[in-house]
Chains A and B, each alone.
Chain A
Amino acid sequence: MIVLDGSHSGVPHRRSPACRSCREPARGRLPAKVWLLQPGWYPSEVDSHLTLRVDGEEWSLTVDTRTTLLDALRDRLSITSPKKGCDHGQCGSCTVLIDGRRRLSCLTFAVAHDEAEITTAEGLATGESELHPVQQAFLDHDGFQCGYCTPGQICSAVGMLAEAEAGHPSVVTPTGNGSGESGRPAVLDDDEIRERMSGNLCRCGAYVNIVTAIRAVARR
């Protein structure tokens, strides 16, 4: 994956001062190919250069502007922790944290995230043995079976816990008791966890254990 010559010609690589495209400002570059725009005719391919910081590593890459963030991660950078379950923002398997907030990486283009800080489930673990508390809780409470929705569930849970801590209410947050009001942290009971985690489908049916796992972390 790492290319050490100066050209880089479209090959994704960790950001390097030796690379000309890395030194140039990412925005405003002319696309590599521009199709003549005529009525009823649209460009099939326009390339764009960008920098992504994923799990603490900086990557420099040129993408077809039609590339979703999910495909850029999986197919261009071989970062396959975010999964493709539906490609339509309906299942949550592709959830990553972008600048700390949970986002569906299949529903956003890579070019819209130049210079963004992206964390995947793989990056939540700080080492071979050090899991994030949410990951450890999923492991302890068997909050998964096939594991395909799991990285998305875990990123979603981490983002959700931060939202609750920051006082974001959900549709089931009761009014008038202070929970999630005026920036006060929302109290996460099981109904709150279920509601806030309902953007992440699990066909194996691990919801009961997912709620148990998140509850264990939320109560710490």
Chain B
Amino acid sequence: MTRPDTDSALSSESIEPLNIQTVGTSLPRVDGHAKVTGTATYAWEHDLRNPTYVYPLQSAIARGRVLRMDATQAESVDGVIAVLTPYNAARLADTGNAELAVLQSDEIAFRGQLIGAVVAETPETARHAASLVGVEYEQQPHDTELRADRPDLYRPDQVNPVFPTDSEEGDVEAALAAAAVTLDQTYSTPMEHNNPMEPHTCVSVWDNAGTGADGGPRLTQYDSTQGAHAVRKNIARLFELAPERVRVISPHVGGGFGSKGMPHAHNVLSALAARAVAGRPAKLALTRQQLFDLAGHRTPTVQRVRLGADADGRLTALCHEAVEHTSKVKEFAEQTAVASRLMYAAPNRRTTHRLALLDVPVNTWMRAPGECPGMFAAEVAMDELADACGLDPIELRAINEPESDPSTGKPWSHRRLVECLRTGARRFGWDRRAEAGTRREGDWLVGLGVASATYPSWAMPGSAAEIERTADGRYAVRIGAADLGTGTWTALSQIASDALECPFDAVHLEIGDTDLPPASVAGGSSGINSWGSTIVAAARAFRAEHGDNPAAGARTSSKTPENPDMKRYAVHSFGAQFAEVRVNADTGEVRVPRMLGVFAAGRIINPRTARSQFIGGMTMGISMALFEESVLDHGTGHVVNHDFAQYHVAANADVGDIEATWLDEPDPHANPMGAKGIGEIGIVGAPAAVVNAVHNATGIRVRDLPVTPDKLLRA
């Protein structure tokens, strides 16, 4: 089944497209059998002899110093092997990344920071002994509260990953003053936690510490990570090892959503603990509660959006100013307003990011950092502007469609946002949308909402892939990539099959191990773009070198190729999110019986797993819209609702019918597959669609997530 690219006008001069056979078909997951039987091996579950168990000790204050730690009682418990403290832990070679400088000083920078660990023969013993360690602190006043009116907000040098902090085009203030219609509103999103189902786990084993025959120690980490090679690079530097002396193994990962994108403090603690039990594995899995302190979170945001439009709804000014927090331990400046630089045409535009430097745990990536919270504010603002202009929200967006990327002037490789919106409107029954607050069925107020979605098509450099003809006549395809539920095992096998022009079953993919060629982190929806391009390059090089009937053992490696089109075009995905909500008139309870997402994300490698990723993102979007909020108690600096009973993530009964579909067309400028990455766009715009539907149902505009019943009953 070869499907030729129909749109030859949109072909690339520099990218040779992949000849599609297996790609585009709905193959079941190759790791599916292992996952439905529970036999896929996650980080804790590798068969290791004679393990020890690590239980972390955490700071009970948010700022100050540890004065004394008394481990006498803990050490006297039968089965305790070691108690690590800042006073006895090994010195690390590099403390430049303070998040990873574990037990290197007595200073406390946030509540829940690691201050030690108990290593014991059993998990029960470790946990009990941890409760017996006495800690004396010198407490200093802490500051954990994000407010937009703080006088000490600062301007970071850039925002994640490499965007300018601010942007300014034209004269925003003059355009706002002259606009026929204006909007000036402030939106907020709370602190949120990734909460993958598999808690962050790291099992470390030192081999022949300092006494190996080849002259040095080796460290193996069985880790739950989105990037084995990134963990290796960081850990090797800390322990002053050559990278090849550290091996990170991570074949299956129980979700990550950004929080497993880089190693965190527990990776270092696990390695330190393993040093104390030379040769024996040190097993460390954070508890669900500890995740809230030690595994990253999404910053809270306060976003002021100002829009100016002429009488027809054409934007004349767009100003998006974001205020966020960052930890004193390590700066993370989320790119909240960056999507507003390219979504709509507006001659006068300003975007800014300001940070409050607080005594909080380290925040980091959480599914679509930047785009997700930023597009919540921007897309609710567009809904409000449509109301103010008396326009249908889809028409307002169509009127403001930019011909080229407003932030760079580059042509779009593909955009098709308006097509997504119109296709979705047809399928969802948008014409049944009534005036706000007018549709009632029994006790339920019913409304429809829409929002746009976008996500950049990232491609990371620096991966390599190796292809080898094996003795059984198959092809081993090796790359240190990660599958955190994303379908990598299946999708990369499909790409390799097409690139080698061999049957799908003839591909034997190997991922999740630093013994394999290096791979970039599974982040920014860049995995398939980056690793897939690398595999295609390796397959082509392999065929050029060894022909169609290679001998067993024939082998070729290639690195990620350059893609000159990424410099010439603005390569992004777009989408339209539709939600139907029902709001109980008496209780304020919000239900979401229906959602539809229509996406233009280039070629879809595997429709079955892709649909799962889209609806998974949309489900997390419902969760963000209605439930998720980490409550930081400023008195203690502690996230008080640090478990699943109190930090609500959407459960099965919270989710109705969600459908996702796409405009199936390859983007010839993205890569040989024509694919653009789909892991994150599903959550972008989803919370705004729900909030806009709540407004349509009730006439109440909620600007502060999550939409809890009190916000509807108070209004």
Interface residues of A (CB under 8 A from B): 33, 44-45, 64, 66-67, 71, 74-75, 78, 80-88, 90-91, 93, 120-122, 124-125, 131, 135-136, 138-140, 142, 144-151, 154, 191, 193-195, 197-211
Contacts and interface: CB of A to CB of B under 8 A. Distances in A.
Interface in B156-213: 195-199
12 contacts: A67-B124, A83-B38, A87-B288, A90-B288, A136-B36, A139-B32, A144-B36, A148-B255, A195-B652, A200-B652, A204-B485, A207-B650
Contact of A121 (B36, B196, B619, B620): B36
Contact of B37 (A71, A83, A131): A131
A131 B79 CA distance: 41
B125 A80 contact: no
Interface stretch (B387-395, B396-404, B458-466, B607-615): B607-615
Contacts of B616: 145, 204-206
A206 B651 CA distance: 10
B68 interface: no
Contact of A125 (B37, B123, B124): B37
The 5 closest A-B pairs by CB, nearest first: A146-B485, A81-B38, A205-B619, A148-B254, A147-B35
B453 interface: no
A49 to B, nearest CB: 16
Interface of B: 28-29, 31-42, 44-45, 47, 53, 77-79, 122-125, 128, 195-199, 252-255, 257, 285, 287-288, 484-487, 608-609, 611-613, 615-620, 623, 643-645, 649-655, 657-658
B254 A81 contact: no
A195 B649 CA distance: 15
A142 B609 contact: yes
B198 A195 contact: no
A147 B45 CA distance: 14
A45 B652 contact: no
Contacts of B623: 205
Contacts of B285: 84
A154 B34 CA distance: 13
A150 B643 contact: no
Contact of A146 (B122, B199, B255): B255
Contact of B649 (A135, A194, A201): A201
Given A66-B124, A203-B195, A90 B645 contact: yes
A120 B28 contact: no
The dominant DSSP class at the A interface is loop
A215 to B, nearest CB: 12
Contact of B620 (A33, A64, A154, A205): A205
B199 A84 contact: yes
A208 B657 contact: yes
Contacts of A86: 199, 288, 643-644
A54 B491 CA distance: 35
A57 to B, nearest CB: 15
B36 A154 contact: yes
B653 to A, nearest CB: 4
Nearest to B48: A78
Contact of A142 (B608, B617, B618, B650): B608
| Best-surrounded residue of B34, B255, B617 (most CB of chain A within 10 A) | B255
B39 A201 contact: no
B644 A88 contact: yes
Contacts of B608: 142
B607 to A, nearest CB: 10
B222 to A, nearest CB: 12
Contacts of B615: 205-206, 208-209
Contact of B38 (A84, A88, A151): A151
A207 B612 CA distance: 10
Given A142-B608, A145-B485, A147-B31, A205 B42 contact: no
B195 to A, nearest CB: 6
| Best-surrounded residue of A83, A88, A131, A204 (most CB of chain B within 10 A) | A204
A150 B38 contact: yes
A205 B644 contact: no
Contact of B643 (A64, A88, A144, A148): A88
A64 B609 contact: no
A89 B78 CA distance: 29
A148 B42 contact: yes
B484 to A, nearest CB: 6
| Best-surrounded residue of A90, A205, A211 (most CB of chain B within 10 A) | A205
Contacts of A149: 197
Contacts of A33: 78
B196 A203 contact: yes
Nearest to B127: A66
| Best-surrounded residue of B34, B38, B195 (most CB of chain A within 10 A) | B38
Nearest to A90: B644
A136 to B, nearest CB: 8
A33 B79 CA distance: 13
A120 B37 CA distance: 8
Contacts of B196: 146, 148, 203
A83 B288 contact: no
B617 A198 contact: no
B254 A83 contact: yes
Contacts of A144: 32, 35-36, 485
Nearest to B683: A205
Contacts of A150: 35-36, 38
Contacts of B657: 208
A5 B601 CA distance: 62
Contact of A139 (B28, B78, B198, B486): B28
B605 to A, nearest CB: 14
Given A71-B123, A146-B255, A131 B287 contact: no
Nearest to B46: A80
Contact of B612 (A78, A140, A142, A201): A142
A124 to B, nearest CB: 8
B691 to A, nearest CB: 19
Nearest to B198: A148
A205 B621 CA distance: 10
B645 A88 contact: yes
B627 to A, nearest CB: 12
Contacts of B617: 205
Contact of B198 (A82, A83, A205): A83
B252 A147 contact: yes
A44 B15 CA distance: 66
Given A90-B645, A203-B649, A64 B124 contact: yes
A197 B652 contact: yes
B644 A44 contact: no
Given A131-B37, A146-B198, A146-B484, A211 B125 contact: no
A135 B652 contact: no
A120 B198 CA distance: 18
A90 B123 CA distance: 20
Given A205-B620, A206-B616, A209-B615, 15 more contacts: A44-B128, A80-B39, A81-B38, A85-B288, A90-B645, A120-B38, A139-B29, A140-B28, A144-B32, A145-B616, A146-B255, A147-B254, A151-B36, A207-B650, A208-B615
A10 to B, nearest CB: 11
A71 B53 CA distance: 12
B514 to A, nearest CB: 21
A122 B38 contact: yes
| Best-surrounded residue of A84, A120, A197 (most CB of chain B within 10 A) | A84
Contacts of B42: 80, 83, 148
Nearest to A138: B36
Contacts of A120: 38
Contact of B124 (A45, A142, A195): A45
Nearest to A131: B36
Contacts of A197: 652-653
B643 A142 contact: no
A142 B197 contact: no
B255 A139 contact: no
Nearest to B646: A90
Nearest to A147: B35
B651 A201 contact: yes
